[in-house]
Structure 1
Amino acid sequence: MSEHPDCALVRRGYTAFVAGDMDTLGELFTADAVFHVPGDHILSGHHKGREAIMGLFRRIGEETAGTMQIQIETILADGRGHVMSFHTTRADRGDRGLEMREGLFFSIAGGKITDIDECVEDIDELNAFWR
Structure 2
Amino acid sequence: MSDQNTAVVRKYFDALAAGDLDTVGALLSPDVVWHQPGANRFSGTRSGAGEVFAMIGGMVESSRGTFRIDRVDHLMGNGDLVAATIHFVAERDGASLALDGVDLLRIADGVIAEAWLFGSDQDVEDAFWGS
Fold equivalence (TM over 0.5): yes
Cα distance in 2 for partners of 1:10, 1:82 equals 10
Cα distance in 2 for partners of 1:69, 1:18 equals 7
2:54 is equivalent to residue 72 of structure 1: no
Counterpart of 1:64, as a letter, is: S
Q: In the TM superposition, what is the alpha-carbon distance from 1:31 to its structure 2 partner?
A: 1.1
5+ residue gaps, structure 2, are none
Deviations, residues 50-82 of structure 1 (Å, cap 9, x unaligned): 11111112112111111123211101001x200
Q: Size of the alignment, in residue pairs? A: 128
1:26-65 to 2 correspondences below 5 Å: 26-65=25-64
Q: Aligned residue for 2:116?
A: 117
| TM-score, normalised via structure 1 length | 0.92
CA contact (8 A) 1:106 1:117 kept: yes
| TM-score, normalised via structure 2 length | 0.92
Cα distance in 2 for partners of 1:47, 1:112 equals 16
Q: Any idea what SS the aligned residue of 1:65 has?
A: coil
Q: In the TM superposition, what is the alpha-carbon distance from 1:18 to its structure 2 partner?
A: 1.8
CA contact (8 A) 1:22 1:54 kept: no
Q: Aligned residue for 2:4?
A: 5
Poorly superposed stretches of 4+, deviation over 6 Å: none
Q: In the TM superposition, what is the alpha-carbon distance from 1:9 to its structure 2 partner?
A: 0.7
Deviations, residues 80-102 of structure 1 (Å, cap 9, x unaligned): 20000011111101111001001
Cα distance in 2 for partners of 1:29, 1:67 equals 22
Cα distance in 1 for partners of 2:6, 2:62 equals 28
Q: Aligned residue for 2:126?
A: 127
5+ residue gaps, structure 1, are none
